[in-house]
Structure formats: structure tokens, C-alpha cells
A and B are shown apart, each in its own frame.
Chain A
């Protein structure tokens, strides 16, 4: 969990409001999004195409994975985070490394307080925002990698320049600062003695062949020096697709569940094919059109994860600021 006292008025990051406000101004978020689309493509009206010189990437087989996260439902329980760690062999780095901000979560819960600006102690609400790779169609991380390692999934080409992490506006890319999982071929490279000493429990666990059986055999174990991030549980996606192919049928919606979606007790996370008009994720977006937003959408990263704004059940009315 990454905690911050306030989202400092960065509404493009966190959309939250009160029920009374939402009733009074139901179209706020929709209008903002329409305004952006207009700004980006004033002449061509093609919002997606206008920001890039590259041809639009067509998805084979009509598949395009997307996710919808309802901030109204999220209770910040962190079950998704744990599920993600277990499914994807995400290293558990231990207390010492967490203190150095070396945690490896592919998925984290961002927590913000909503409080009175003049009196920060007067807490109005808490907002939880599960934050993971947004699977941008126009991804800033991809362009900057010198060895083309970030093109959606290829980690074995990563040389570890960390430029992609710097250029990720969501800060969801995680670097293997040390050999957390015992995956590296350098001997004794976990015995740091001056800087970055690993907790014994981390070291021992990952060197012990029995404990290592906790690792998911369907997912690679990354060595130190490479970047990693959420893959939309690509191993599950592949398995689902192969099963459908073997049985010579169309992939069903809901057949493939990411680990986080499966673990979420409040069904806040919905994953699916956004090209499928009948899929849950498509419907989720359509039915909640007025609450749908993308995080810092104005950057035109074209994320495939949308959020649904949090609406608090209070009578307070927050007047919208006049756009300058």
C-alpha cells in the first residue's frame, strides 16, 4: 500500500465526489473526457489516431484486454495485492528493502485522505485506488527503452536502464534491485554486507528448494537487474485461449480471470475483452458512463484500465471549479 495524505487536488488522478454533487452535476467526468477528445482531435475527430504517427494497432482475433476498477467498491483490503504476488512470483523483499522503497508490487493500493484544506485533520473520507500497469496503448515506457524490451511483455531483453520506470506516469514498473528470488547465476550475490543487506528470511526462503516450490511454475522467476510489471496474468490469458482453441470454440467472457479479479471480495475489479460488446467489462463501462474515467487521461497514454469514480453518500455539494 502506498499512502499519501492528500491527492493535492489532482483530480485527473483521483475522481471522488459526494452523492449530492453527483446528482447535481452528473455529467462532470463525461464532459471532461469529451473535452479532452475534442482538444486532441479537433479536425480528424479520431481521438486515438491523432496523437501518434503510427498506424492503429489492430488486435488479432478481435481480442483486446481491458479492466474496469470500481473505486466505490474497493475497500482497500489488499487481497488483490497478495493474490498478485502469489500468482506472478512477485518477490517478497523484506522489511529492510521495503524501507528503501524497493518493494516489488505489480499491483498496489494507493490510499489518499480527503480532508478539509484549511484543517487537514478534519477527515472527510478515505479513497482507495488499486494501481497497476495501465496497459497503455500509447505507452510512454515503450518508446524510451533502447533495446525494445518493454513492448508489452518481453523481459528477457531488458538490460536495466530503468528509463521506462522513470517515464511511467503511473509509477507501476518495478526493478529487481537485488537477487530477491535466487534466480541469478552469480554465486553469493545475496550476501550484501555494507549496503542493502537482505533480511535473512528473504534470503533463506528463496535459497531453500522446498520453499521455492511456492513459486508458480507457469511464470518466470526474474533475475536481478531487470524490470517487471503487471502482465494482466498473461499465463492465465494464454491458458484460456488455448483451452478454447483446443475445444474449437469462442472464448467465453469470464473464462479468464486475473488473479486480482479472482481475489477481490467486493468485485471491484472486472477483467475481460473490451471488443466483445457483451462482456462484463464493456457493460461496466457503458452502464457507468458517468463515473468512468482514466487516470491522468490528458497525457494521452490511452490506458486499457478504467476506473469508476468514488461517490460518497453525503449531502455536501462540492461546486466544480471553473476551468480557466
Chain B
């Protein structure tokens, strides 16, 4: 009777507890409909304060000039671009989960995709702040846009990787936003239909775009999901590839590296999944959604973390090998002297990166560790520290000592406004996430319902019982049903 199963017995259930469709709706709408908890208010206020400090920091920089930061004539990019690449990397998990895992029919994505997509959007918003506000004349930022203009007309420079960034990131943001929002429609309609207050009816009514749940709507919904998944799959790979071109197309030793595109993409997915873990381990606890975001989900993501972390590790070692093998004295200086040499000014940063990104995730080869929440949470933070340092190492340790020794005499450390800008984006990110967790369903209820009948706990339990039943008894029971 094992043929009755949709899914192998070795797979754990993705929805725990005896749930029916109504219960799923109840559980997922509860946080949206209830008053926010004290914990939510504390988290939101702290995030919002950080955001305000970030706004102050940027204001200072815009009024007084980029000299408010400690960048200098040798180190032209520092925390600004480090943070940009860090955030954009984090923004890669959502689309990977929603698009690529959808195409691969990975059922476990449904528990985490909504929150991961939201996180992606917020991370991309945070990332976008840096290339904009790091400009010396931000009020001229629109010069990068290609449109017919009265300045000649002049076009932007299509040779520049920074311009490719403009296109890559805006496309990615648009597609991710569409994907996330279109997925939200059925759930927003559920909340609208359950709403008792007038403003809620209004708000969710407008937000649900008149979703009725008709078959036609569902049919279009599924098609749209597939089309968007097809569109965003190449984007997951292309966006960070293009970000890596910011460095790879330059002449700076340590940046000019052909291995960058795959290395950056793996790193991006690595850090993105770590950020999803950080958020979900907390969210499932605070919103009491443990039955929907199960250890099964956490474990699957930890597997991806150990895989991508190891790819990143191989990339690091390949870089070192090539630095030596190329016999290019400038490149080997950048790698072996500026980074690997622990006595060099930034040697410490290289080893933080190595420790956090390559060594520590190896702990996830052990199943027990993959399913341990404390370990997972701690590791997720560690990975993102490591990935921040990876970008810092690439950017700063390459430029601060490149070709001409005369330009070397600098040690770059950030000012309070650079740190403030970074904290501000962290604040922005969590402000957005807290608002999202309050006003939107953090789990895709409609999609969970699809899963209920194949990966739900009660289903698996019933199937287990059915399997032990002798064939004769089954035939006896169902033989005369005639579809009744």
C-alpha cells in the first residue's frame, strides 16, 4: 500500500499537528489580526531608532560632503560598497527559494518563501541606499539613467559595470517585488474576508486587487507564478554576477579576478540563507509558528548553507592558488601579503572571514547540529559577519595597497557616520520586517494548504495507518463505494 504516498516515508512532515484548512488560516492570520505583542513594540522601536540615526548620518554626509567618511585618496570605497554588496548578497535567498526551488518542486519552500521574499525586497532596498548616497553629488544621481535629455543629449557609459548594476538591481527589485506581491494576493483576500473593522476591510480590500478565488483567478495565479519564476531564475545568477563585475572588470589586483561571478553568487546565497535562518528562528518562536516552520525546514536550509559555504571556501583557496601560480607579483602581493599575512594591517579581517565562512559552517555536516536551533541561530549570525568581512577584505585590502608603493601609507577606519549609515540600513531592514510581520501573513497560507495533503503531519499519520491495513480490508471497505 506504500504507493498511496505522495512522498517518501523518510521525509519528515512539513506541517506538524492535526491541521485542517481552517486551522491553517487561523494560525497564519492570528498575528495579523491580534494586537502586537510587547516584544514586537520593543523590536520595532529599536529598529526605528536605528533607522533615524541612519538618516541623520546620511544627512550629515550629504550636507558636508563625503569627507564625513574616512575614505581617502587611496581607499575610494570602504564601508559604503562593502555594505552594498553585503545587503545585495543577502537579498539573494528569497528569489532562490521562491523561483529556483519552485521550479525544482521543493515542497519545503512554502513554509519559508513568503518571509524570505520579503526579506529579499527589504535587503535590496537597503543595498540600494549605498550606491546612491555614496555619490559625491547625489542630487545628480539621475545622470546614470539613460533617457533623452537636454544635456547634449548625453548617454551614460555603457562600458561601466556601475551602470550594469543600475539595470541589474532595478530589474531584480522589480521582479522580486512582483513575485512577492502576486503571491500575497490570495492571503490578503483571506484577511479581507475575515476583517471586521472598516479600515481593515478597506486596506486589505484594496491590497487584494479584487481576488475572489475563482478557478480562473487560480489558473492565472499559477501561470504567473511560473512565468515569474522563469524570469527570476536567471536573475538570481545574474545580479551578483554583475555586482562582481564592479570588481572583476577593474585593473586592481585582488579585484581583477575571473573567478568572481560564481564565487559571488555562491556567497550571496550563503549569506542570504543565513539571514533567512536568523529571521525565521526568531519569527517562528515569537509568532508561534513552529508547526509551519519546522526543524525540517531549518535542516534543509542548513544543508544549503554548508554547501554554499564550502563552494565559497573552494573559491578562496582557488584565488590563493592562482595568485601563486600566475606568478604575477602584484596579484600575489594582494593575496599573500595584504590578506594571508596575519601581521599585515588587515590580516585579521582575512582570518575572521576564513573562520566564519569556511570553517564554522562545516559543523552542519552533523545532522544533530543542523537540527539544533541554538547552533543554527548562532551560526547564521556568524556567517553574516563572515560575509561582511569577505566584502571588506575584497574591497579595502585590494585598493589600500595596489600598484604604486607611494600611495600605500593609509589605514582606513570608518567614522561614526559610516557606521551610522550601516546601522541605519539595519534599522530600515528590521523596521520593514517588523511592519511586514504585523500587517502581512508571514507564511503563504494558500500554498501551505496545497502541501497539507501530502506533507502534513495528520496526512502522514493517516497514511501510516492505512498502510498497515491489509489489502483485503481496504477493498472490503472501499469496494462498494461507487464514489459515494
**B-binding residues in A (CB < 8 A):** 2-4, 6-8, 10, 13, 97, 100-103, 108, 110-112, 129, 131, 140, 143-148, 157-163, 165-167, 169-171, 174-179, 186, 189-190, 192, 194-196, 223-227, 295-296, 299, 301, 324
Give the interface centre of A3, A6, A170 by most chain B CB atoms within 10 Å. Answer: A170
Closest A residue to B403 using CB positions: A169
Total A-B pairs, Cβ < 8 A: 194
On whether A177 and B67 interact (CB within 8 A), knowing A146-B144, A163-B76, A169-B403, the answer reads yes
**CB atoms of A102 and B160 under 8 A apart:** no
- Residue-wise interface mask of B (123-144) relative to A, using a CB-CB cutoff of 8 A (1 in contact, 0 not): 0000000010011111011011
Q: Which chain B residues lie closer than 8 Å to A189 at the CB level?
A: 63-65
How far, in Å, is B332 (CB) from chain A's closest CB?
12
- 5 closest A-B pairs by beta carbon, nearest first, are A160-B136, A225-B136, A177-B67, A101-B72, A110-B406
**Contact assessment for A165 and B73 in the assembled complex, using a CB-CB cutoff below 8 Å:** yes
Given contacts A147-B143, A192-B64, contact A224 B404 (CB under 8 A): no
CB distance from B80 to the nearest CB of A (A): 9
User: Is the pair B77, A2 in contact by a Cβ cutoff of 8 Å?
Assistant: no
Interface of B (DSSP majority class): loop
Q: Across the interface, do B405 and A8 meet the contact criterion of CB distance under 8 Å?
A: yes
Contact of B399 with A by CB under 8 A:
yes
How far, in angstroms, from A10 to B404 measured CA to CA in the complex? 8
Question: B76 touching A131 by the CB < 8 A rule?
Answer: no
Q: Are A13 and B415 in contact (CB under 8 A)?
A: no
**Contact A195–B416 (Cβ < 8 Å):** yes
A230 to B73 Cα, complex, angstroms: 15
Q: Which residues of B contact A (CB under 8 A)?
A: 60, 63-74, 76-77, 131, 134-138, 140-141, 143-144, 151, 154-157, 159-163, 166, 246, 249-252, 327, 329, 399, 402-410, 415-417
- Asked if residues B408 and A148 are in contact (CB atoms below 8 Å), the reply is no
A-B contact pairs, 7 of them (CB 8 A): A2-B406, A159-B135, A163-B77, A163-B160, A170-B403, A195-B60, A225-B65
The answer on a CB contact under 8 Å between A224 and B136 is yes
Q: Is the CB of A100 within 8 A of B157?
A: no
Tell me the nearest residue of chain B to A194, going by C-beta: B416
Q: Check B251 against A169 for contact (C-beta < 8 Å).
A: yes
**Contact: B408 with A158, CB < 8 Å?**
no
A324 and B403 CA atoms in complex are apart in Å by 20
User: Are A175 and B66 CB-contacts (below 8 A) given A144-B160, A144-B161?
Assistant: yes
A108 to B143, CA, bound (A): 32
CA of A129 to CA of B407, assembled, Å: 12
Residues of chain B with a CB closer than 8 A to A157's CB: 140, 143, 151, 154
- A198 closest partner in B (C-beta): B67
Instruction: Compute how far the CA of A111 lies from the CA of B143 in the bound complex, rounded to whole angstroms.
Output: 39
* Contact A101–B68 (Cβ < 8 Å): no
Q: Which residues of B contact A227 (CB under 8 A)?
A: 136
Chain A contact residues: helix, strand, loop or mixed: loop
Are B251 and A224 in contact, with the CB atoms below 8 A?
no
A3, B410: Cα distance in complex, Å: 11
CB-based contact B67/A143 at 8 Å:
no
Chain A residue at minimal CB-CB distance from B80: A162
Please determine whether B417 and A195 come into contact, CB atoms closer than 8 angstroms.
Answer: yes
Residues of B within 8 A of A178 (CB): 64-65, 67
Q: A4-B408, A161-B135 are in contact. List 10 more A-B contacts (CB 8 A).
A: A6-B405, A143-B249, A146-B157, A146-B163, A157-B151, A157-B154, A163-B246, A179-B64, A189-B63, A226-B136
| Distance A109 CA – B69 CA, assembled complex (angstroms) | 26
Q: State which of A103, A146, A166, A225 has its C-beta within 8 Å of the C-beta of B160.
A: A146
**When chains A and B are docked, how far (Å) is the Cα of A195 from the Cα of B70?**
9
Cβ A166 vs Cβ B252 within 8 A: yes
Q: Would you call A102 and B72 a contact (CB within 8 A)?
A: yes
Q: How many angstroms between the C-alpha atoms of A10 and B405 in the bound complex?
A: 8
Question: In the complex, what residue of chain A is closest to B140 when comparing beta carbons?
Answer: A159
Tell whether, in the assembled complex, residue B73 and residue A101 are in contact, meaning their CB atoms are under 8 Å apart: yes
Nearest-Cβ distance from residue B430 to partner chain A, whole angstroms? 26
Of chain B, the residue at the smallest CB distance from A103 is B73
Residues in A whose Cβ lies below 8 Å from that of B69: 195
- B159 near A143: Cβ-Cβ < 8 Å: yes
User: Which residue of the partner chain, among A111, A129, A131, A147, contacts B156 with CB atoms under 8 Å?
Assistant: A147
In whole angstroms, what is the CA distance A19 to B477 when docked? 107
Q: Is there contact, CB below 8 Å, between A167 and B251?
A: yes
Q: Which B residues touch A110, using CB under 8 A?
A: 404, 406
Give the CA-CA distance A301 to B415 in the complex, in Å: 34
Interface-central residue, B60, B402, B406, by most chain A CB under 10 Å? B406
